[in-house]
Amino acid sequence: MKVIALEEAFSVPDMATEGAALDQPSTFRPDFLADVERRLPDFTELRLKDMDEHGVDMQVLSLTNPGVQMQPDARIAVSDAQLANDVLAGVVGARPTRFAGLAAMPLQDPGAAVRELDRAVNDLGLSGVLVNGHTLGHYLDEPQFRVFWEALAGHDVPLYLHPNSAPLGWSVFDGRPELIGPTYAWAVETGAHALRLITSGLFDQFPTAKVILGHMGELLPFHLSRVDTRMPYLITDVKLAKKPSEYFTENFHITTSGVMANSALLGAVLAIGIDNIMFAIDYPYESSSQAMEFLHGLPLSDADLNKIAHGNAERLLRLT
């Protein structure tokens, strides 16, 4: 069975990211962080070996969190995105059967992001974009980003909405730092970001726009019915043409990155359909061994398993 993993991170050591440093304490063990830092900038020695050992045919690469989203200088954000995308295109071009790529976007300057999107798709041959959550506290439903959504819909490529590691400032996590990050907080914020896109009317304006959420949909497949039942009773500034769940099934896809539970996968299938779900590992943050064991153990028909393993990604990203 062919396997495409869709949320696989890399870093570029030469990026001018000093201004983007988050300078926050980490609750992860130092040995884990050291291994991640060793693997992120590598494409051939460690990464390909890991892929071959575990039966991963292709990784879809993207710049690791926070990418360029927390760079306070827009000019540096643009040059960093260009550098990262050039590196990524070189890696993909050297091994097009093993790697595809999602471009970094300097949304600090929406006009520059549109130009970089054009370059990434038309000149570099990348398959879409990945945005690491908010950009300096600004979310993608805000009016200044509509020009970017128009360009994205015009190119007919997806936007992968990934969490941003910038501190949330929510007092509910005070004293419990282990809940910040991928354990829980990132899912809540990224899911809320996705709901902002839906409730802002973005997909009424751009009905063909496509968004990918990782981590089994950042909890949203299991909360859509609640959102649907509440919306008719709320006073809102935007009147939607559809139920929120309908936008989710028509405009969103999800990946399995970091969530390796049959119950979650089967629940997502029931909520949004098999055609909207794709496999991902979240290398090097997650275990390829565990993710592949999960994939091969799914209680699905061969046809449905192949959709998740590679077919849906090939269709959405036009990888064939």
Tell me the catalytic residues: 282
Q: Report the distance separating Cα 138 and Cα 164, nearest Å.
A: 11
Query: Dihedral sign, CA of 28, 30, 35, 40?
Result: positive
Q: What phi, psi does 184 have (nearest 5°)?
A: -155, -50
Residue ranges in the chain assigned as alpha helix (H): 30-39, 46-54, 74-94, 110-118, 146-155, 185-199, 202-205, 215-218, 224-230, 244-251, 262-272, 288-296, 302-306, 312-317
- Residues 5 and 60 sit within 8 Å (Cβ to Cβ): yes
Query: Dihedral sign, CA of 90, 92, 97, 99?
Result: positive
- Residues 313 and 277 sit within 8 Å (Cβ to Cβ): no
